[in-house]
Amino acid sequence: MAELYRNQSLAEQNSVDLAWDLFMDPRYNKLKECIAASEEERKRFRQLLVNCVMATDIFDPTMKALRNKRWDKAFHQDKSTSEALSGDEDRNTKATIVIEHIIQAADVAHTMQHWHIYQKWNE
């Protein structure tokens, strides 16, 4: 597995692959149509899924740097530069990055619950 995922975020990448394979099963065609009707939307959804799951890998310095760079680009860019995003693109980028950080916070906070609550939800 380490070779397959180039020794990076093994558990996270494996989880995405397993979930995506299940999602692509023909039994879920109606769900896929609701979430992403076109191939372009499906690619966007997959990227969102990958980014969110990968955000739970808090130990990889490369991933952290990429997240920080995307955060800075979305929230601290000079709107007069040529890299300025359109209104929808800007909102989508910001929403995606905020979702990633919320998932990361939830993932970390999960381990900081009172012991009896942690045990209840992890038995």
Predicted confidence at residue 31, as pLDDT, reads 95
Residue carrying the six token digits 């093994």:
10
Predicted confidence at residue 84, as pLDDT, reads 64
Rg from Cα positions in the chain? 17
Predicted confidence at residue 82, as pLDDT, reads 45
Instruction: Please give the C-alpha separations between residue 2 and each of 17, 21, 30, in angstroms, as whole numbers.
Output: 14, 19, 34
Model confidence, pTM:
0.70
Full pLDDT tens readout for the chain, 123 residues: 878 777 778 889 899 999 999 999 999 999 999 999 999 999 999 999 998 898 888 888 888 898 888 888 888 876 555 466 678 888 888 998 899 889 988 888 877 878 888 788 777
Q: What tens digit of pLDDT does each residue of 31-56 get?
A: 999 999 999 999 999 999 998 898 88
